[in-house]
């Protein structure tokens, strides 16, 4: 198993690791929350950011174990 936290090779194409994907999505959702016009949208994007950050933490733990 390739333990690289950045990118892994698969069938000749580069694939983003789960950890990196979840971190990127958490950042994107935090930025979306900042841009959101309504409080409902802001709360939804903030919740998604928290969920993705938690998944990134779990993926990081799995990589280092």
| pLDDT at residue 2 in the model | 46
| pLDDT at residue 6 in the model | 54
Domain extent at residue 38: 15-64
Within a domain: 54: yes
Cβ proximity of 49 and 43 under 8 Å: no
Within a domain: 8: no
Q: What is the pLDDT of residues 30-50, one digit of tens each?
A: 999 999 999 999 999 999 999
Number of domains in the chain: 1
Which residues, listed in sequence order, are joined to residue 15 by a DSSP beta bridge? 8
Within a domain: 48: yes
| 10 DSSP 8-state letter | E
Question: Model-level pTM?
Answer: 0.75
CA 48 to mean position of chain CA atoms: 10
Q: From start to end of the chain, where are the E strands? A: 7-10, 13-16
Q: How sure is the predictor about 20, in pLDDT bands with cuts at 50, 70 and 90?
A: very high
């Amino acid at each position: 198993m390739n333990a690289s936290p950045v990118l892994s090779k698969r069938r000749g194409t580069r694939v983003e690791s789960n950890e990196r994907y979840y971190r990127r999505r958490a950042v994107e959702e935090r930025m979306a929350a900042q841009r959101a016009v309504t409080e409902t949208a802001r709360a939804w994007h903030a919740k998604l950011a928290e969920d993705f950050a938690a998944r990134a933490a779990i993926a990081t733990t799995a990589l280092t174990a």
